[in-house]
Amino acid sequence: MIPDRKRVQSLLTRRGRQTHGRIVVEGVRLVEDALRAQVGVDWLYYVPDAAEGRLSKLVDEARDRGIRTVEVTSTELRSVTETETPQGIAVVVVIPEWGWESLAEHSSGDILILDGVRDPGNVGTLLRSAEAAGARGILAMHGTVELANPKVVRASMGAFFRLPSIGGTEANEVHNFCTGLGMPIVTTDVEAGESLASLADTHAVGLVLGGEAEGAGDIWKEVGAKSTHIPMHGAVE
């Protein structure tokens, strides 16, 4: 039986996640990522019949760390997860909280700024791509999908737990932050600006990626962002 089931089920909604500062993470790979990232874990739920190999090791690791573990049925586990096949394991994880200072101190890489990117799969992919490219972190503007959305977390392949990310930001505060780091803000436009190659000697930038339909907002022109394009041949859109 799942303790406090209604509270855990509320984490499947944005309001519930914001209220409790928690998210349900499911599946062997993501649970491994969460435990390795040393984020706070309240509970681990597992189906005993599935507790073999990697899953069994995760249960043992959680117990060694003092994390509360609960045996549940497959039906009970599905009642607190989004997918039909949660692989027999899920955890309730504390959503990482990153401040501006932690973002500034994380590394010397670029910052990826998401302006109205609404597809959670796209945002998750961008998170893991940014981490792979050595980015300093992610800033998500109002209008971008919630970073703690379960689909974002799954698509990020663990980057959600490791890469500093701040949501609900405004263009002016992003501009002030990047300026303070000596980092120019760059937008992309298929028909305007200099080639992206012009940034080859720039140490790091704040790269704005706009929404799937509208692109980056006009506010970036107002704060002096540099417009660039990626050269492409042929008629590919």
pLDDT interval class at 87 (50, 70, 90): confident
Determine how many CB atoms are found less than 10 A away from the CB of residue 215.
16
Task: Check whether 90 has a pLDDT greater than 80.
Answer: yes
Which of 32-46, 191-205, 207-221 is predicted with the least confidence, judged by mean pLDDT? 191-205
113 beta partners = 139, 208
Can you give the pLDDT at residue 160? 95
pTM score: 0.87
Amino acid at the residue 18: Q
Instruction: Using alpha carbons, list the distances in angstroms from residue 50 to 26, 32, 132, 163, 180.
Output: 14, 16, 32, 31, 51
Let me know: does 106 contact 140? Beta carbons within 8 Å. Answer: no
Let me know: does 140 contact 167? Beta carbons within 8 Å. Answer: yes
Task: Check whether 178 has a pLDDT greater than 80.
Answer: yes
From 8, 19, 71, select the one nearest 42 (Cα to Cα).
Answer: 8
Task: Check whether 197 has a pLDDT greater than 80.
Answer: no
Determine how many CB atoms are found less than 10 A away from the CB of residue 227.
16
